[in-house]
A and B are shown apart, each in its own frame.
Chain A
Amino acid sequence: MWNWDYTLLILPQILEALKLTVSATFVAFAVALVVGLILTLARRSDFKPLSLFASGFIEFVRSTPLLVQLYFIFYVLPEHGLSLSPFIAGVIGLGLHYSTYLSEVYRGGIESIPPGQWEAAKALNFTPLETWRKIILPQSIPPIIPVLGNYLITMFKETPVLSAITLVEIMQTAKMLGSHSFRYLEAFTIVGVLFLVLSYSSSLMVRRLEVRLNLR
């Protein structure tokens, strides 16, 4: 049966682990944002080898499970001299995996820009880099912010998979607490409630943001 004393006893430990979960989410999201944009631009490149590599990478990453990718980064790379901490391996794995999805989101944003914008930029003799920086990206990003926000939430809910590569995030913490005391109910319930509260409140914020962006 539910034990409140035990709940209060383990809560601080789980909240401590929550910090790690949240920072892993944000760092992985930052990786995904940057790599996703690079993949999008690479795929649009006129330089064929680059665009083929980007498309191939995207297909490969999306067609294999995240767990396999994480195992590969964490357990196989050290055999070839690249040892990463669970946190670094985790954010790289999660970040790269989601970069392929974000790349698709960026692509949608970029393709929604009318051709006249590209033409005007060329007529004013902006270089390709200036065109991206000043004209295309500032118009492509704001409309996709809500979608990006939803991916952030999805990534947050995906972090328990990082426990598979020994990262002591909240799921792993709850599991360890359970195996010490043989009480799983409280620990896993707390984890579930924390995910619910944070994800739901974040999704409300994303929705409000969406409304504000639509009003503009």
Chain B
Amino acid sequence: MSVPLKVIYNEESTKSIGNDLRKVAVQPIVNYSNISKSYGDLQVLRNIDLDIAPGEKVALIGPSGSGKTTLARLLMTLEEPTSGTIEVDGEMLWHQKTNGKLVKANEKHLHKVRGNIGMVFQHFNLFPHMTILRNVMEAPRNVLGLSKEEAVERAVTMLKQVGLANKIDAYPAQLSGGQKQRVAIARALVMRPKVMIFDEPTSALDPELVGEVLEVIKAIAAEGEMAMLLITHEMDFARDVADRILFFDQGRIIEQGPPKRIFNNPESERLQTFLSRFNRH
């Protein structure tokens, strides 16, 4: 009899119940509703529906070109959906209501809603003409309107958290890839977003530098408050950090669930095939 008990109370199932409860009780921080995206004839996202709860860590896995990155880029307003709506913290992202009619959002509206979202890019995209400190403090100073002292203090705290307080006067070109990405993480975190996107944060790194970046992301995830959308090919990392895994293929969410269920008992054939490629090495 102890075996079924163990199953019922194992960590995974409570996690997933917790998620379901949150979904019922709390307004999602991100809601994709019937989202599609096409480039000409190429449809990269097909009618995606997705809720992310506040503080939830969602990992997107799947083959290259399956639409994961596009899904994240729509949320960051780097690309516009072809159809469907996205809500962030209860507010339309790409649309706004004017005289009761739903119209395309203007820049002012986008600016307001976008403030809830942060993003870490595959290729870091640090500002090469600024020191590390300025990379991190420039947005708090200009976008959030903090005083110089406050912005510096917040930036230094963040840089300490990613272990780079000793590099504040360096320029990005003087850092290793792993250090660059840690600065990029600090730069995004310092804005205190409610949702943070990590778009393949370790894909451009030399293998020996992947670990330090994943450690930093894990530590941030452990703090809990912020929702995360993680696009990754690091399956062990996804398993450790995520509350929920989404498997993408050909612009659709093929399968989703708690990490253990997804990795141990994949249901769809496509997910099984996808995972077998990782298990082999």
Asked whether, in the complex, the Cβ of B142 is within 8 Å of the Cβ of A126, the reply is yes
A123 to B73, CA, bound (A): 10
Q: Which residues of A contact B187 (CB under 8 A)?
A: 124
B19 contacts partner chain A, Cβ-Cβ < 8 Å: no
Query: Nearest B residue to A116 by beta-carbon distance?
Result: B125
Beyond A116-B121, A128-B107, A130-B143, is A122–B77 a contact (Cβ under 8 Å)?
yes
CB-defined A-B contacts under 8 Å, sample of 9: A114-B125, A122-B77, A123-B119, A124-B138, A124-B191, A125-B115, A127-B143, A134-B142, A139-B127
Q: Which residues of A contact B191 (CB under 8 A)?
A: 124-125
A139 to B129, CA, bound (A): 7
A144 contacts partner chain B, Cβ-Cβ < 8 Å: no
For chain B residues 123-172, which have a beta carbon within 8 Å of chain A?
123, 125-129, 138-139, 142-143
List the interface of chain A (C-beta within 8 A of B): 114, 116-117, 119-120, 122-128, 130, 134-135, 138-139
Q: Which of A114, A120, A123 has the most CB of B within 10 A?
A: A123
Asked whether, in the complex, the Cβ of B125 is within 8 Å of the Cβ of A117, the reply is yes
Query: Nearest B residue to A126 by beta-carbon distance?
Result: B143
B262 contacts partner chain A, Cβ-Cβ < 8 Å: no
Asked whether, in the complex, the Cβ of B121 is within 8 Å of the Cβ of A125, the reply is no
Main secondary structure of the interface of B (DSSP, over half): loop
* Partner pick for B128 among A124, A126, A139, CB 8 A cutoff: A139
Q: Which residues of B contact A114 (CB under 8 A)?
A: 125
Query: Nearest A residue to B118 by beta-carbon distance?
Result: A123
A159 to B103, CA, bound (A): 54
Q: How large is the interface on B (under 10, 10 to 19, 20 to 34, 35 or more residues)?
A: 20 to 34
Beyond A123-B76, A123-B188, A134-B138, is A116–B119 a contact (Cβ under 8 Å)?
no
* Partner pick for B121 among A119, A126, A127, CB 8 A cutoff: A119
Asked whether, in the complex, the Cβ of B143 is within 8 Å of the Cβ of A124, the reply is yes
Asked whether, in the complex, the Cβ of B127 is within 8 Å of the Cβ of A120, the reply is yes
Lowest 7 A-B CB distances belong to which pairs? Answer: A120-B125, A116-B125, A124-B139, A123-B119, A125-B143, A138-B129, A125-B114
B111 contacts partner chain A, Cβ-Cβ < 8 Å: yes
Q: Which residues of A contact B117 (CB under 8 A)?
A: 123
A119 to B78, CA, bound (A): 7
A136 to B141, CA, bound (A): 18
Asked whether, in the complex, the Cβ of A135 is within 8 Å of the Cβ of B111, the reply is no
Query: Nearest A residue to B134 by beta-carbon distance?
Result: A134
Q: Which of A116, A124, A126, A128 has the most CB of B within 10 A?
A: A124
Asked whether, in the complex, the Cβ of B142 is within 8 Å of the Cβ of A130, the reply is yes
Q: Which residues of A contact B111 (CB under 8 A)?
A: 125, 127
B116 to chain A, nearest CB (A): 9
A114 to B117, CA, bound (A): 22
A114 to B125, CA, bound (A): 9
Beyond A117-B125, A135-B127, is A122–B78 a contact (Cβ under 8 Å)?
yes
Q: Which residues of B contact A119 (CB under 8 A)?
A: 76, 78, 119, 121, 125
Query: Nearest A residue to B113 by beta-carbon distance?
Result: A125
